[in-house]
Amino acid sequence: METLQQVDELSELLVQPIGVKELDIPVGMVIDLMMRLLFQEGDVSLQRFSTVLKLDPSLLDEILNGLQKEHLVEVTSAGSLGRMSYSYHLSDAGKFRAGEAFDRTQYIGPAPVPVEKYNQAILLQTGDPLQLTQRDFQEALAHLILPEGFERRLGPAVNKGTSLFLYGPPGNGKTTIAEAIARLIGGSNPMWLPYALTVGGHIINLQDSLIHKPIEYERKRPTGQLGIDQRWGLFERPVVIAGGELAMPALDLRFDDVAKFYEAPLQLKANGGMFLIDDFGRQQMRPIELLNRWIVPLETRIDFLRLRTGQTMQIPFRQLIVFSTNLDPLDLADEAFLRRIQVKVLVDGPDERMYFQIFAAMCQQVGIPLDKDTFLHLLQYWYRDTGRPMQSVHPRDLLKIAKAMCEFEGIQPHLSPELINEACSVYFVDSNKAAHWTKGGLQ
């Protein structure tokens, strides 16, 4: 829960600039944006400038008035509402000026905010722990059958927003649990985030439509109060999920040599929310490289990003980092790193009682009547006799196969020992037979 002081400081930070003097970025950066938009679209109305750049029309009109005096833009049409209804296009001199603007960068979009303001806003909105309750977790995990009190292992780490390590054999719900946590975080207190940042004259695109989900809010303020700076949007707390496709460049500022602006790294886009590293250990980099990249941010909660000019920018590292893996954690990380991940939760396979609960629930979900004799046969023949470990995902998969077999034969879905044997025989790999036919050198 944000304190009144934090709310006041954030409100002050989000006040829209209504004149060039209140602008917190160089006016030349705004002029460049306007030049590029005019060059790209031809005739541009004042309202269109405001919509794209997310700046107050009166501020933009002040700039346009100056550009008119310099003969860089010309009025193409004038409505009945005075200057606020004007449309503009580039003069010949303005086209030359637009070419210079494109040489610097091709970015066209919301005007950026200084990285210092972004840092302050993140700290103000992440200073206090989330207030998710035990009941919130129970409801979020209600669709899963887990050991009693399992949510107590997760809650403290999620509320504190530091780090969480989910490990254990495959097929027992680690990713599903992480996704449930992501929905909890995404549905908690929304955040104010800018669309783009600027540092040292460079632009960093932060907004990502796949990650940042906007929330509608009341834009009007009481009479006499300034509105909210439209360069900031109200979003659900961001959630980034990366699996085996994750590569090291995604964790650093990425400069587009053609467009000439930066794309924010994934952890910057996840700030204030959650970053899930799924299938940890199977990324396109060695685990030690990822761990070395984040060992300092996890300790200090500060990250450092380097521009191609060599300039370094400091940003808060305020997100819940979740590692999920079915590999042995001790094979992936040393004790020094694991110590920095404060909460480590084993998501193990179910015992026989839990397995039956999952099997019964999946029967109802798949639409196939539960048969206890068939279940007992499955338990004895395919698990107890073989020593095969149980996985939470097995009931769902086996029942779907059994139902598909019934549908293929054109008969009513049902369970029987014979049918479950057929389903198991095409689902489980027979390691003994595989070892036999590979002995001759076929790999």
Name all domains of the chain by residue range, CATH numbers in brackets: 26-110 (1.10.10.10), 115-346 (3.40.50.300), 352-436 (1.10.8)
The tokens for 221 are 């303020």
Contact 311, 198 (CB under 8 A): no
- Name the pTM for this structure: 0.85
Q: Are 417 and 373 in contact (CB under 8 A)?
A: yes
Q: What is the residue type of 429?
A: V
82: which DSSP letter?
A: G
End-to-end CA distance of the chain: 58
**Residues 349 and 172 sit within 8 Å (Cβ to Cβ):** yes
**Radius of gyration (Cα) for the chain, nearest Å?**
28
Token digits of residue 422: 């057929």
In a structure prediction context, what are the per-residue pLDDT tens digits for the chain, which is 443 residues long?
456 566 788 988 999 998 898 999 999 999 999 999 999 999 999 999 999 999 999 999 999 999 999 999 999 987 666 677 789 999 999 999 999 999 999 999 999 999 999 999 999 998 887 888 888 888 888 888 888 888 888 888 888 777 888 999 988 989 899 999 888 888 888 999 999 999 999 999 999 999 999 998 765 544 344 589 999 999 999 999 998 888 899 999 999 999 999 999 999 999 999 999 998 888 888 888 888 888 888 888 999 999 999 999 999 999 888 999 888 888 887 777 787 787 888 999 999 999 999 999 999 999 999 999 999 999 999 999 999 999 999 999 999 999 999 999 999 999 999 999 999 999 998 765 544 444 554 44
- 30 is written with which tokens? 């705004």
* Residue 195 DSSP symbol: S
Residue 258: exposure state from Cβ atoms within 10 A (0-12, 13-18, ≥19): exposed
